[in-house]
Structure 1
């Protein structure tokens, strides 16, 4: 239970944790230094001053007692002797929180002084009307019933003004050290923030610029490892794309020859059912090969261009309507959006084709502009908006876990098992193209039943 409580109390960021740790360590070192100074240096000094002052007071008491009455009267007048204590002199002066060290040193001095003075010579500290120390002297032999109080100046060692300034200076140096540590930690956090930004670019399918490796040794080592990882990923991606494209291209050549050989080998008037079935299988293989080609490319080399996304949706809906598949369109006016035309057409075609194959009914496409809740408040209004295109149908819905798994390559939903000719790359291609444009792919349950696939694209798309 202690560990979860500690986790809740600790700051979330590494910067804040390091600053708190630095401040605690600096303050702890200052407190230890002050404690050692007070106990081993200042306390013996104050006690020694109290011992000397007690000797001075007892000597003065003996001198006054031995002085003749007329001379003693003149001397006590000069010492401001009084029969009664002033109102501001108390046995235990009130503590002063603002001057805690002076209060500690005063109490230490009074305790040590009273320990060295006779019990019948009390001492009082006056705080009102000026700092003075009152001592009650013994009554002289010629006036045994007339003891009196005299005021003496307070020794400098009992005031502690110099050490109080040193304590304030020490605390100031501690705060300065904490601020210096904060500045150093900010400097160290800059390459970590660059690393986080580069990692987000990699996860979005982009190629980040190489990280600088001229910083501290540990940070430079991490940056070099990240640069090497990025380069390895790029090489692996290029090799995979080249392999898929090469295999798909090479297989198409014997398929074309096979199709031609079948057509030439069948005599006229023979049963064509075998040819029709074989042609159907060859078409499925062609579709699978095209999906591999699309997945290998995904439009990385295509340059983005500003265009009207609604116009592209309407054109594709018209093409599908010519094939007998009507899509209900609900399109709102969209701002100019930079996108890769061929890749975006492939994305929308895949989604609309999936809706036709697996949904069959209730085909619809919507588009609108929405606020990007992932952006912090205070950002520019244009940067806080996204374009959303939703392709929906009324087919059997899948669970959220199944829908997320469909984003991975070669994954097919349970409603696709009865359909042949697929590879499980359709939504993977859509996901890659959406990430290439800085967007994302989301699945939502449709009102009234069915499924909607949302493509969320930032207005400032790459």
Structure 2
């Protein structure tokens, strides 16, 4: 059982993965690239193994056959010169095979096993292989001349293909290039979404965002074009709302002006006059609030309000109602 603290730590550790599309896309593309590289290397190993075995077996068989034939048919006085020429020009050494030789076994790999089988089919089942004789490394193949046995040593460089270190180096280079490409592609995919998110946040704050660029893939172009159209529609709705509210407020202030004029001309008790004047002022303030509401958010004016005075005005107005007693401290 895991404690809540350890679960919280695991959740915080992988929060960066869940937080954005960039890392998800990057990791998925990296995993896909690694799987593709593994499959590619496996396919190359499988399809290259057969030709490599055949080519190596033909090379070894030809070298051993030609060297054996040259030694058999050469004059005894010229054999030493022939052996020196093979060493200096071809990198081939011929040594006597003795029973007390310290023989190191060949590499225990599937490739070497296939090469040995193919070479024995050409030279005979008695052919032996070694990776070193008497402490001297090389690729050794045994052969016979009459009753005598010899070692033929080839330089490993002539037979070696790509080593594991070379394979690892190439795989690392390709992997780094693939990761850079995955990061670049993930950034290209994530950038339009980041712009869209920033524009949506600007709308949520009551601001008008910068129009999104209508370029890129077809899906991104359609999404940005629709978003820009939505922003324009919202701006037009805001303008229409402001015009409508301004018109309504203007139409309401016209009768208020007439009521104010009649109030000034008619003879009324002081209490009634003050009450009607207060109602007219209150209606005019409501109309002013409509006008402020009709303005855009960035053009609206905000003033400080004294809550004590506002509550006193409310209590005074409420005191005009019959059978209602209001006490203001």
TM-score range, shorter chain: 0.5 to 0.7
> Which residues of 2 match residues 54-203 of structure 1 at below 5 A?
79-83=94-98, 84-86=100-102, 90-91=104-105, 93=107, 107-115=109-117, 117=120, 122-126=128-132, 131-135=137-141, 150-153=151-154, 158-161=159-162, 172=173, 175-176=176-177, 179-180=180-181, 182-183=183-184, 186=187, 191-203=192-204
Identify which of structures 1 and 2 has the higher relative contact order when contacts are C-alpha pairs closer than 8 Å and 6+ apart: 2
Aligned residue-pair number: 290
Please state whether the residue corresponding to 1:211 is helix, strand or coil.
coil
Equivalent pair of 1:244/1:296 in contact (CA under 8 Å): yes
Counterpart contact for 2:64–2:152, Cα < 8 Å:
no
Please give the alpha-carbon distance, in whole angstroms, between the structure 1 residues aligned to 2:141 and 2:316: 108
Deviations 1:402-425 (A, max 9, x none): xxxxxxxxxxxxxxx99999xxxx
Say if 1:301 and 1:79 are closer, same or farther in 2 by CA, change over 3 A. same
Paired with 2:237 and 2:169, the residues of 1 have a C-alpha distance of 62
Distance 1:288 1:128 in 2: 109
The superposition leaves residues 377-432 of structure 1 with CA deviations (integer Å, 9 ceiling, x where unpaired) of: xxxxxxxxxxxxxxxxxxxxxxxxxxxxxxxxxxxxxxxx99999xxxxxxxxxxx
| CA distance, structure 2, for counterparts of residue 195 and residue 128 of structure 1 | 73
* Deviation at residue 156 of structure 1 after TM alignment: 6.9
Q: Contact between 1:54 and 1:113, CA under 8 Å: does it hold in 2? A: no
Aligned partner of 1:294 among 274, 292, 295 = 292
2:36 corresponds to 1:29: yes
Report the alpha carbon displacement of residue 291 of structure 1 after superposing the two structures with TM: 1.9
User: Using a 3 Å threshold, how does the CA distance of structure 1 residues 12 and 209 change in structure 2: closer, same or farther?
Assistant: closer
C-alpha contact (below 8 Å) 1:49/1:155 kept by paired residues: no
Spell out, residue by residue over 1:246-302, the C-alpha distance to the aligned partner (whole angstroms, 9 max, x if none).
2223222223333444565555xx5x5554444444333333222222222267459
Give TM-score scaled by structure 2 length. Answer: 0.62
Secondary structure at the counterpart of residue 282 of structure 1:
helix
Q: Aligned partners of 1:119, 1:248: CA distance in 2, in Å?
A: 111
Structure 1: gaps spanning 5 or more residues: 94-105, 303-342, 361-416, 422-462
CA distance in 2, matches of 1:283, 1:205: 31
Are residues 1:220 and 2:218 paired?
no
Corresponding residue SS for 1:207:
coil
Q: Deviations over 1:62-83 (max 9, x none)?
A: 99xx99xx99x98999721243
Match of 2:51 among 35, 41, 45: 45
CA distance in 1 between partners of 2:31 and 2:222 (Å): 30
Structure-2 residue corresponding to 1:329: none
Q: CA separation of 1:154/1:275 partners in 2, compared to 1, >3 Å: closer, same or farther?
A: same
Report the secondary structure of 1:111's partner residue: helix
* Alignment check: 8 A CA contact 2:214 2:225 kept: yes
Q: Which has the larger radius of gyration?
A: 2
User: Are residues 1:258 and 2:265 paired?
Assistant: no
Mapping of residues 370-389 of structure 1, within 5 Å: none
Deviation of the 1:39 alpha carbon: 0.7
- TM-score for the superposition, normalised by structure 1: 0.47
Q: Give the number of the structure whose residues are more often helix, by fraction.
A: 2
Distance 1:59 1:213, change over 3 A: closer
